[in-house]
Copies of this chain bind each other. A is one copy, B any other.
């Protein structure tokens, strides 16, 4: 089965997710600076989520580039990842609108945590389908970066109840370590 439509559908969903997030930036009625600065928390959470969706698109692109074929399980593992990512605009909007208070920040972490696990499942499903000696399998190896991200999200969710800004710092750190495209696959693919 071809991977073309899986990529096209995922691109479509990710393109829509990244773009409808901006709809949470509601056009203010006033035209003064105050109306604009009031939107700052929503804007900051938009920037963070834009980077996260960008990272997912980038890594998804790399991973499927290394894949040769897909099956039903891979399709559903991919759909599962898209489901959690589809909740990012909601989590982003809730966090931004409430100025980074505990529950919305923990919830944002929860969505990232589930998306991280879904990405891990998708990677495992792909590796299983291609065999443990495939380029894909060797490239993933033990997937340290993926595992650590999920651990850090879990810690960030708990720490949101201490101080949500610690969680925000952790989300930013994870985004930074993923910002660099997945060198493991990139290296193997050249």
Segment touching B, from A79-87, A112-120, A132-140, A149-157: A79-87
| Interface SS majority for chain A | helix
Residue-wise, chain A 8-37 has the 8 Å CB interface mask toward B (1 for contact) of: 110111111111101111011111110010
Residue-wise, chain A 70-106 has the 8 Å CB interface mask toward B (1 for contact) of: 0010011001001100110110011001100111100
Residue-wise, chain A 53-79 has the 8 Å CB interface mask toward B (1 for contact) of: 010011001000100000010011001
Q: Chain B contacts of A93 at CB under 8 A?
A: 27
Copies of this chain held together in the complex: 4
Distance in angstroms between the alpha carbons of A20 and B57 in the assembled complex: 19
Distance in angstroms between the alpha carbons of A22 and B13 in the assembled complex: 12
A-B CB proximity, top 9 nearest: A12-B15, A31-B98, A72-B181, A27-B93, A16-B19, A31-B101, A54-B79, A13-B15, A9-B11
